[in-house]
């Protein structure tokens, strides 16, 4: 009888431990899914910002080249006028 009771207590303890482990696993899986969603959103935002940065750099280079060309032309005109 004592042996059966001890066996039942061990089985109950193992079952409770298994349930607790399953609960922790489900919680960890849920956290992982949330983190993966957040990571995907952050990667999309980063990609969009990188595209905006590339476009801004391209515009800046275009305007710099335009104004540098105009400045060089104006300097040459002023030196010719001397």
Q: Residues 32-77: pLDDT tens digits?
A: 999 999 999 999 999 999 999 999 999 999 999 999 999 999 999 9
pTM (predicted TM-score): 0.62
Establish how many alpha carbons lie within 13 A of residue 81's alpha carbon, considering only the half-sphere containing its beta carbon: 6
For residue 21, what are its two tokens?
């482990």
Cα distances (angstroms) measured from residue 6 to each of 10, 11, 12, 61: 6, 9, 10, 80
């Amino acid at each position: 009888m004592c042996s059966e009771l001890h066996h039942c207590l061990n089985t109950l303890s193992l079952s409770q431990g298994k349930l607790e482990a399953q609960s922790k696993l489900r919680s960890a899986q849920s956290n992982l899914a949330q983190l993966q969603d957040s990571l995907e959103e952050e990667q999309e935002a980063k990609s969009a910002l990188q595209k905006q940065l590339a476009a801004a750099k391209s515009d800046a280079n275009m305007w710099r080249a335009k104004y540098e060309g105009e400045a060089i032309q104006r300097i040459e005109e002023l030196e010719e006028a001397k």
